[in-house]
Amino acid sequence: MVSPSNLPRQLLAGLPGIGQAAVEQFEQDLRRKRSAKDQKDFLRDLLRIAAENSQYLDKARGDDNGVFGRADLKESLLKQKVSAGVAVFDLPEKLVTHSMMQKKEQKAKHGKDTPQGLSAFAL
């Protein structure tokens, strides 16, 4: 954002089960650990708490006629990831493009002795 705003804090604090204290702790954790992986894990944990509390609120209302009324807790992707460990895969830290994969395949096929400029020509 160009100008600082309190809106993201208010939005996060308004999520079910997340209060102002949790948002402040989240900000402290983000300042303490600067790596993208750690910050992604902090955000995932915060949103997981909100998702679990949201499920409990829906069950407390007794709304079984909603869009997700028939979905059971064990069918949830959130629970599958926690219990099975592989329902939703994490994004890789390093971006791999199609052209990078093609270059790797060409190196494997032609060997490392061929100069890069001539690797496009088959002799």
Residue 55 within any structural domain of the chain: yes
Q: How many CB atoms lie within 10 A of CB 71?
A: 12
pLDDT of residue 1 exceeding 70, the answer is: no
3-state secondary structure of 110: helix
Residue 100 within any structural domain of the chain: no
Q: How much is the pLDDT for 22? A: 92
Contact of 90 with 84, CB cutoff 8 Å: no
Count how many residues are written for the chain: 123
Q: How much is the pLDDT for 110? A: 72
pLDDT, tens digit, 9 for 90 and up, residues 15-29: 888 999 999 999 999
Q: How much is the pLDDT for 121? A: 65
Residue 24 within any structural domain of the chain: yes
Residue 52 within any structural domain of the chain: yes
Task: Name the percent of the chain lying above pLDDT 70.
Answer: 58
Structural domains of the chain, count: 1
Residue 92 within any structural domain of the chain: no
98: tokens are 């199609």
Half-sphere exposure of 17 (CA within 13 A, CB side): 14
Residue 17 within any structural domain of the chain: yes
3-state secondary structure of 71: coil
Q: Which domain holds residue 40?
A: 7-87
Residue 61 within any structural domain of the chain: yes
| Mean per-residue pLDDT, 30-57 | 87
How many Å apart are CA 79 and CA 24, to the nearest integer? Answer: 26
Residue 122 within any structural domain of the chain: no
| Mean per-residue pLDDT, 84-107 | 74
